[in-house]
A and B are shown apart, each in its own frame.
Chain A
């Protein structure tokens, strides 16, 4: 679902052109390349690639919410990859970095809370993990209401 939300966002930004669209293109390219690397089982290389993307400066023309959505998605992915690589402390740092960009009730925030829960669980912090999963669940619940037409779209 985060992919779908990101595709909609990318389409909107790409239509505007300029440095912002180049940045979104580089995000899409990094994600696509990471997909290929992961299919080959190259987890570390995929993580390094996405880490390189989030470390690069964001062009000034990118609107705040767009910047946040693209980076939050990348951080959530990096956090999951770090959990898979049995590096929960690093996963926690990535998830925290993503959440530090803002916590609107959307798919990206939900994904980051879930990733942070997985990191906490891997660290043996079960109570904290449950809290993170609960936070993700509450956001998913709000998004469900929107999807069913009960909230502002």
Chain B
């Protein structure tokens, strides 16, 4: 979805650029001038697209670390509850399986968060 949005935005940027340049620029008078004008327009467009891509990339990867840390904490706290229940019923396969799966979720959450955020209490 983000990719589609990015493409649409780039297309729209390109369109708006084309619309903007046509009334302001007089038609080139020679082939050299023509080439220079095309190069200038391309440079301008490249800078513009660079800005758009950078802002999209930033928006896409910027994590909400405080929230992520809190959620990882919640996931691991729930693991503690599940495994405590399991420990009260030794030999209960269903609870033991849930405890193992919960531990894996906690571990996964910690690793996911640690890769991009530094939580005070991971």
Partners in one complex: yes
In angstroms, how far is the closest chain B Cβ from the Cβ of A118? 8
Which residues from 2 to 18 on chain A have a C-beta closer than 8 Å to any C-beta of chain B? Answer: none
**B21 interface residue per 8 A CB criterion:** no
Q: Which of A1, A134, A143 contacts B102 (CB 8 A)?
A: A134
Residue pair B78, A133 in contact (C-beta under 8 Å): yes
Give the size category of A's interface with B.
20 to 34
Bound: A117/B98 CA distance, A: 14
**B63 interface residue per 8 A CB criterion:** yes
**A33 interface residue per 8 A CB criterion:** no
Residue pair B70, A1 in contact (C-beta under 8 Å): yes
Bound: A1/B105 CA distance, A: 20
Q: Known: A129-B85, A130-B85. Contact between A137 and B68, CB under 8 A?
A: no
Interface size on B, residues (CB 8 A): 35
> A-side binding surface: helix, strand, loop or mixed?
helix
Residue pair B71, A144 in contact (C-beta under 8 Å): yes
Which residues from 118 to 153 on chain A have a C-beta closer than 8 Å to any C-beta of chain B? Answer: 121, 126-127, 129-131, 133-134, 136-138, 140-141, 143-145, 147-149, 152
Chain B window 33-77, contacts with chain A (Cβ cutoff 8 Å), 1 for yes, 0 for no = 000000000000000000000000000111111011011101100
Residues of B at under 8 Å CB distance from A?
A: 1, 60-65, 67-68, 70-72, 74-75, 78-79, 81-82, 85-86, 88-89, 92, 94-95, 98-99, 101-102, 105, 108-109, 112-113, 116
Q: What are 29 of the A-B contact pairs (CB < 8 Å)?
A: A1-B74, A126-B89, A127-B85, A127-B92, A130-B82, A130-B86, A130-B94, A131-B98, A133-B85, A133-B102, A134-B82, A134-B101, A137-B74, A137-B82, A140-B71, A140-B75, A141-B105, A141-B109, A143-B67, A143-B71, A144-B71, A144-B72, A147-B64, A147-B65, A147-B68, A147-B71, A148-B64, A148-B113, A149-B62
